[in-house]
Structure 1
Amino acid sequence: MASPAATIAAARKKHAWIARMIHPEADRGVGNASPFVTRTFELDMVTGTESLRVTAYGLYRVFINGTRVGNDQLTPGWTNYDKRLAFQTYPVADLLRAGANTIEIWLGDGWFRSPLMWTGSGLANVWGDKLGVIAEIRRGVDAEDLLLATDESWSSGETPIRKSGIYFGEIRDDRVQVEATLGVDILPLDTGTLVEQECLPVRELAALPVVKSWQDSDGRTVYDFGQNIGGYVQLTASGRAGAHILIEHAEILDKDGAFYNVNFRSADARLEFVLRGEGVEHYCPTFTFQGFRYARVTIEGDASVAEIEAIPITSVPEVTASFTSANPLVDRLVQNTIWSQRGNFIDIPTDCPQRDERLGWTGDAQVFAATACYLADSHAFLAKFVREMMADQEADGAIAHISPNPLRLKPPADGSHFSGSTGWGDAISVIPWTLFVHYGDKAILDEAFGAMVRWNDYVWGISDGPVVRPPSGWGVKGFSFGDWLQPQNDHLKAVPTMGDDAAATIYLYISSAQIAGIARILGREDEARRMDARAEQVKAAFQREFITPAGRLLYDDQSSYALAFLHDLIPDEHVEAAKGFFKATIARSRGRIGTGFIGTPALLPALVKIGEPELAASVFLQEEVPGWLAQVKRGATTIWERWDGIKADGSIFEPTMNSYNHYAYGAVCQWLFEAVAGLRPDPASPGFQNIIFEPLIVPALSPVQAHHESVAGHVEAGWSLEGDQATYTFTIPEGSSGELVLSTDYSEISLDGVPVPAVAGEKTRRPVASGTHTARFRIHWQK
């Protein structure tokens, strides 16, 4: 009997790649026509067990005997291609036949070599300047029989796609005949970099019809699909050969109702379709996507558009949660967050899907990770992103601001860094921890642990000690984004903002404490003790450096107080005074939010923690700028990058950094699920094996109903209010347990009809088994 090691070695040999990475001689470089490769091959029979595995330098689309393989979009996705290149496997027996068969694989520039980022004309050819594809068709349950492989015998030519790019869009001329007149050559490939598809591929959602259309003053037709998405349009048209259809995209209309896409910056985000001139023709882009709600169509020549619709795409197609209340603005906010997640979870978690950016910003992802895990199954998707961060981590431990990071392979000529920001790089521990809590994934903690520790040591080294003093210059080692986009409100008197040193020091504490806990879970006691000691050093240093003898925080802003309270950085002797100062920051802002990217997720939980649930609810529910509901009132269908993306008078904020599909501030949905609906996973029994139910009754929202399809099963919670009497009903899936936790603001408590005695000054806690339960109690605040 073979040893386990021999069995594994034999399996690896059986499934080793025999195919070669081939480059079409028809490839004329970035920004030119998309090439294809093809081959005809013979099969003696089709058994039903045939499969294709394939990947590419660039994007690919495969056709067998004229029929497309699969329905995945933008394959093979975006990874650090030099270190990790994903491949996909498809059953193809239904497309094959005994006798002659033809396979054709189209290639596009994609993220591999399209110009990326906003540096002038963009960074092109980051991972290479030649497109390529490697593919095999195999037969058998274990795919042991090789039927076809890419090699020197294949041919190549040009497709009707004359140009494509992630930011550019696509030009397609269907008059072009697909002919293979050239050969291929072999590109180097380390097959050890090939990894099987790690998360759901990008898929299309249901098409969105036009809700309104009109002609502008130049005779162009503008279509409104009613929803901002990441995706593309598809259309049917007819006309004479050579007629040209131009499609441009926009997220918003300007103050006067005109089509507006200045905020796309240098991203052309255009589609051009040239008709073949043969009856009804269909067009949908192949190798690009846009972020948009509106499409403007210009027709040159004799043609007409019969139908047009918008196709959203995403890697997280199934919604796994819902939240409804008596306030339609709040309910729409949740829907906006779902749409922003969909439109930005396109193979990696991007900041936005429309302008010349669309990058995997680590700070955005870490503040949103928990919300993402409620709204969709984000387990494999975020684990993949963690691996990209690890691939991009620098030798000194710095985590890149974005991942995959084009600047790792093409660094700026001035030697500046694009890594190392606290709050951003902390995604390397925050996201694995979130995956552990939500899905019970201990393996990702172990996989990323070394990267977490190196990151933490890097941050300590920025100032060689517990108080982190980031330099102010962009691109300087240790630069920090701080509390990015902290608002200044809409009045002239300046509002205090959080200093980078305070933000960085707080995050060093969060990181140290979090890694210490992870180390204990992994049984790494020495590292746990080291990180515990570091956390205590940072905590003491923060208290010395950033808290005055009166208990006021140095920067006296909402984010400083929110993060400090949430993470227990305020010493006991200053708690009451600091509470007063915290509330004063909100009063100065006229009851409005004053936090940026890292402070926002902490604000409402911190207010509840210090015993101010009424104030938390008031800040959340106010409808003026800056605030969550203000953008909903202004017609938003996704989350905006800036609180004041469209101002009260309808004017548009300065367009150089103004996205209308940016999920970060949607992180407030975590608070809606965990506080208002009152359901959350217990870190001590992760993966919803034990569930904490701790509702925050906000009378203005009654009734509230929420659910989450957790890894353990269906979880549900909701409440209604009659006078001061609350009824809270919650469901625990079979095999899990729960704990009901009720605030000291609630009294006369019963659980499933049985009175529950309260302990003065302490929260009421009761263990509960799986099933549906009902608690009733009186509340003691009414705002």
Structure 2
Amino acid sequence: MDQAVDPRDAHAPLTRTWNARAISPADDPGHNGRAHRVVREFTLDEVTGREQLHVTALGIYTIFLNGHRLGPDLLAPGWTNYDARLAYQTYDLDAALAPGSNRLEIWLGDGWYRGQLMWPQSMLHDTYGTRVAALAELTLDGDTLLATGPDWTSGPTPVLRNGIYYGETFDAREVDVPAEAGVEVVALDTAILVAQECPPVQELAPLSPVRSWGEARATSYDFGQNIGGYVAFTVTGDPGARLVIEHAEVCGQDGEIDNSNYRSAPARIEYTLAGNGPESYRPHFTFMGFRYARVTIEGDATLERIEAVPISSVTHPKGAFTCGVPAIDRLVLNTLWSQRGNFIDVPTDCPQRDERLGWTGDAQVFAATACWLHDCQAFFRKYLRELIVDQRPDGAISNFSPDPTRLHPDSFGIPPGSTGWGDVITVLPWTLWLHYGDKAALAEAFPAMQRWMDYLWSLSDGPIILPPPGTVDSGGRADPGFTFGDWLQPVGDNRKPQPTIGDDCAATLYHYISADLVARTAEVLGERDAATRFRARAEEIKAAFAEEFITPSGRIGASDQTTYALAFLHGLVPEQHVPAATRYFRRAVEATGGKIGTGFIGTPAILPALTRIGARDLAAMLLLNRDAPGWLYQVDLGATTIWERWDAMGPNGEIYDPEMNSYNHYAYGAICQWLFESVAGIAPDPDAPAFARVRVDPFVLPELSPVSARHETAHGEIAVDWTCADGRVAYTLTLPEGTEGHLPASPDRSELTLNGTAATAPLTLPPGRHEIAFRIAPAA
């Protein structure tokens, strides 16, 4: 089928009245079977250019109108909680529709709807239903010209098998098989249909191989970048010749591709040639996470061209950060690529293995960084609605969303409601407020926030949360209230491991964080009673935390990096304990030799907390450390995305435990928020959100000079450039119209000048370009 037509998406109203009926191919074989299509030929006397096609599916659809693939959108209608919400898309058709005879084909794949989800111990098929189906309506100025119904026909496609994890098997000899079977009308409540809510998944610029090796009939390709996407290729050869394409993120120590970390996800393409000259192909119903591909040729065929095609819901970066340390620049780029590869309709943890779930903890810690790098307002609003659907009656928030286990509760033994994971319901709406001034998101989430707070209190009937033992039994089950804690926190030498945060301490810290955010949200919404109630709860938790976890000498919890980082960052250290706790915090960092000692919930807090206490020397030590565990270790080993584990690969290239090891997992990339807000010194102000006012407070690490940062806001671009030599900083800030800056007083800055004139902070900075100079205090 030709893919040249590219009509632009014309978004319809949020709701519409449907005359169409959902139809399923009569011979639909069920999951893992051959993909089928529904077909209708129709005639139009004229084409006005105002025609639109509204379409959705149970499963994944690809549309062909008069032999041309319709639209740039991929994996439509996307992944939602299909029992409660199903997206539909609207396309303009003037480029593809013709007067006279027309033919519309809708190909249907398994997708997330009924294809495999999760891993063997918890594997699900037919999660949301057993039959794929299409619902489509062609309209002109609101009047129906054509609608799916019992008069359509169906037939097989050349896609012999497909799945998100599986990949795709395609036989080009089967393209013209007639569609002579009937269809069956299936039940679909059109009340759950919602217009496309977030940017559709689309292709980014393709990547050519940077090297290849092997033999002509088994050649491996390195595309130079780990992505979420697929390969596209052109091949010539005899009818029946076959290509098998395997994917991998890494190569093993023997130099060959190694995809053992994909677990039960085959992630492969099998293509059989028609033999009619050059044949071009890209998958219809799947994607992979990979940097490498190995192409094995069976029969007489020649691969003429191959490219890696990234796909994403975020296609246009809105932020950039560079500095004088190339490895830091690569770290930022790795974070951006991890976001692209995992923001495929939902914010997944990884794009490669038998998982690819919208883990809430990952999204929570990364949300602010995501908004610095791309415009994520619509993307996260859609995800927020899935979170609300998935919230349990007792108020627990899912560990991932959309949550297939909500409909199949016996499939996964860890109950919803984990510390740091469930708190996405408070953190994410507040992030949308900070970055976009999205008050509607706060209002929409506010009831769910309050139910989450009720759930947290119920766990231990008080401000201190005491989770059950932090273990999972042999059946993969845990008690309600189980917490992942500071997931994948490194412990150093196993003969004398470093201290780690206790589950009760972590849960209570996040109890406070969420209570504080709910109180702030209530204040923004004008909910005075709720604001008073949750502010009082936050203060009660704060006092209880100090009594339970802070010793009279100022030591906090297990005296680990995560505990100090979260406590300092969120203001949980009483004033009388700040000097001693600061010393203990410094010792916790120094004890690891300047290596990171935090996991998923501690990592986003560690450098901001060191900034809070003015520990420039320790922040630089952690950031610039080149050994494991540390951010630059993976960069030095050639990583092009963020790893799931600090120790995902040994210095000699040895691959760590493939049973849980992803090389494209964005959580630790949350450091980029700190690079923008502290190192570049620009942060959104909750009292004037959406960058109506910017807090200008650079935390200068001379080792990074020169620094440059850009961020595109609704008002325009904010730009920062600074250099530092001999303690003297030259800081240039450009603010767009509609944005003002606030430079607070700081003991870290002296000899302050503004545009060449001596100045005293605090300063209010109007829109425009500002030349600021100051001297920084010597490192602590």
Q: TM-score, normalised by structure 2?
A: 0.96
Alpha carbons 1:422, 1:459 under 8 Å: kept: no
Q: Does 1:126 align with 2:124?
A: no
Kept in 2, the 8 Å contact 1:244–1:300? The answer is yes
Instruction: State the match for 1:694 in structure 2.
Output: 697
Matching residue of 2:762: 765
1:388 matched to which residue of 2?
386
Q: 1:404 aligns with which of 402, 419, 429?
A: 402
Q: Is the 8 A contact 1:41 1:100 kept in 2?
A: yes
Tell me by how many angstroms 1:740 deviates. Answer: 2.0
Partner of 1:761: none
Q: Are 1:636 and 2:656 matched, yes or no?
A: no
The structural deviation recorded for 1:616 is 1.0
Which residue number corresponds to residue 210 of structure 1? 209
Q: Which amino acid aligns with 1:160?
A: P
Q: Is the 8 A contact 2:13 2:195 kept in 1?
A: no
CA distances 1:551-584 after superposition (whole Å, capped 9, x unpaired) = 1112111000000111111112211111111111
Deviation at 1:611, TM superposition (A): 2.0
Post-superposition CA distance 1:600-644 (Å, at most 9, x none): 111011111112122112211111111111100000000000011
Q: Cα offset for 1:133?
A: 0.6
1:570 aligns with one of 573, 580, 589:
573
Q: 5 Å matches for 1:685-724?
A: 685-724=688-727
Amino acid at match of 1:545: E
Aligned to 1:223: 221
After TM superposition, give the deviation of residue 650 of structure 1 in Å. 2.5
- In structure 2, what is the Cα distance between the partners aligned to 1:271 and 1:418? 35
CA displacement, residues 71-125 of structure 1 (integer Å, 9 cap, x when unaligned): 1110000000110000000001221122211101000000101110013482000
- 2:625 maps to 622
Match of 1:201 in 2: 200
- Cα distance in 1 for residues equivalent to 2:570 and 2:367: 18
Distance 1:28 1:258 in 2: 37
Matches within 5 A, 1:127-206: 127-140=128-141, 144-176=142-174, 177-206=176-205
Aligned position for 1:18: 19
When structure 1 is superposed on structure 2, of 488-497 and 329-338 the one drifting more is 488-497
Provide the rounded CA distance (Å) in 2 between the counterparts of 1:184 and 1:228. 41
Task: Give the match for residue 54 of structure 1.
Answer: 55
Q: Counterparts of 1:515 and 1:613 in 2: how far apart (Å)? A: 32
User: Aligned to 1:551, which of 549, 554, 566?
Assistant: 554
Amino acid at match of 1:732: L
Partner of 1:5: none
Q: Distance in 2 between matches of 1:402 and 1:197?
A: 21
Give the share of equivalent positions with the same residue, in percent: 54
Superposed CA deviations along residues 367-407 of structure 1, whole A, max 9, x for unmatched, are 00000001000000011110000010000000000000010
CA contact (8 A) 1:115 1:121 kept: no
Change (3 A) 1:780 1:573: closer
Paired amino acid for 2:726: G
Measured in 2, the distance between the counterparts of 1:202 and 1:161 equals 21
SS at match of 1:182: coil
Q: Return the alpha-carbon distance in structure 1 between the equivalents of residues 394 and 696 of structure 2.
A: 42
Paired with 1:84 and 1:15, the residues of 2 have a C-alpha distance of 14
Structure 1 residue identity aligned to 2:324: A
Aligned with 2:438 (options 441, 460, 473) = 441
The AA in structure 1 aligned to 2:434 is: V
User: Which of 237, 249, 252 is equivalent to 1:251?
Assistant: 249
The SS at the match of 1:460 is helix
Given the superposition, is the C-alpha separation of residues 219 and 66 from structure 1 closer, same or farther in structure 2, using an over 3 Å criterion? closer
Does the Cα contact within 8 Å between 1:236 and 1:280 map onto a contact in 2?
yes
Q: What SS does the aligned partner of 1:175 have? A: helix
Q: Which moved more, 1:508-517 or 1:742-751?
A: 742-751
Kept in 1: contact 2:217–2:295 (CA 8 A): no
C-alpha separation in 2, matches of 1:637 and 1:391: 35
Output the amino acid matched with 2:177. Answer: V
Deviation at 1:680, TM superposition (A): 1.1
Corresponding position of 1:656: 659
Q: Is the 8 A contact 1:230 1:290 kept in 2?
A: yes
Amino acid at match of 1:259: I
- 2:359 corresponds in structure 1 to 361
8 A contact 1:489–1:625 mirrored in 2: no
Which of 670, 674, 677 is equivalent to 2:673? 670
Once the two structures are TM-superposed, the CA of residue 416 in structure 1 deviates from its matched residue by: 3.7
Q: Does residue 92 of structure 2 align to residue 95 of structure 1?
A: no
Distance in 2 between residues matched to 1:657 and 1:13, nearest whole Å? 40
Residue of 284, 289, 292 corresponding to 1:291: 289
Aligned partners of 1:690, 1:102: CA distance in 2, in Å?
54
Are residue 533 (structure 1) and residue 558 (structure 2) matched? no
In 2, distance between residues paired with 1:584 and 1:346? Answer: 41
Where do 1:585-600 residues align within 5 Å? 585-600=588-603
Structure 2 stretches of 5 or more lacking a match?
1-11, 473-477
Q: Deviations along 1:9-49, whole A, 9 cap, x unmatched?
A: xx999940110111111211000110000011111111110
Q: Give the letter aligned to residue 501 of structure 1.
A: D
Q: Which amino acid aligns with 1:172?
A: F
**Per-residue deviation, residues 490-530 of structure 1 (Å, max 9, x unmatched):** 56321101111110000000000110010011011111111
Structure 2 SS opposite 1:288: coil
CA, structure 1 residues 492+36, in 2 after alignment: closer, same or farther (shift >3 Å)?
A: same
CA distance in 1, matches of 2:16, 2:433: 31
Residues 13 and 737 of structure 1: is their aligned pair in 2 closer, same or farther, counting only changes over 3 Å? closer
Q: Is the 8 A contact 2:645 2:662 kept in 1?
A: yes
**Once the 2 structures are TM-superposed, how far is the Cα of residue 179 of structure 1 from its aligned partner?**
1.3
1:451 aligns with 2:454: no
Aligned to 1:76: 77
CA–CA separation in structure 1 for the residues paired with 2:671 and 2:113:
34
Is contact 1:699–1:782 with CA below 8 Å preserved after alignment?
Answer: no
TM-superposition CA deviations, 1:701-745 (whole Å, max 9, x none) = 111000000122110111012322210000111122111235312
Aligned residues: 762
For 1:128-185, what per-residue CA distance to the aligned partner results, in whole angstroms no more than 9, with x for missing partners?
Answer: 0000010001012xxx211000010000000000000000000000111331121111
Distance (Å, rounded) in 1 between the aligned partners of 2:580 and 2:229: 50
Q: For 1:392 and 1:410, how far apart are their aligned partners in 2?
A: 12
Q: 1:394 to 1:13 in 2, by over 3 A?
A: closer
Indicate if the aligned counterparts of 1:407 and 1:418 stay in contact, CA closer than 8 A: no
Q: What is the rounded CA distance, in whole Å, between the counterparts of 2:95 and 2:214 in structure 1? A: 46
The alpha-carbon distance between structure 1 residues 561 and 15, as it changes in their structure 2 partners (threshold 3 A), is closer
- For the 8 Å contact 1:614–1:781, the answer to whether it is kept is no
Instruction: Show the counterpart of 1:39.
Output: 40
State how far apart, in whole Å, the 2-side matches of 1:714 and 1:523 are.
31
1:782 Cα deviation from its structure 2 partner: 5.9
Counterpart AA for 1:542: F
The alpha-carbon distance between structure 1 residues 14 and 595, as it changes in their structure 2 partners (threshold 3 A), is: closer
1:62 aligned counterpart, secondary structure: strand
The amino acid across from 1:27 in the alignment is: D
2:422 corresponds to 1:425: yes
Question: In 2, distance between residues paired with 1:49 and 1:219?
Answer: 50
CA offsets 1:417-437 (integer angstroms, 9 cap, x no match) = 531101001001100100000
Deviation at 1:444, TM superposition (A): 0.4
Deviates more, 1:159-168 or 1:580-589: 580-589
How far apart are residue 438 of structure 1 and its match? 0.2
Tell me how far 1:540 sits from its aligned partner.
Answer: 1.4
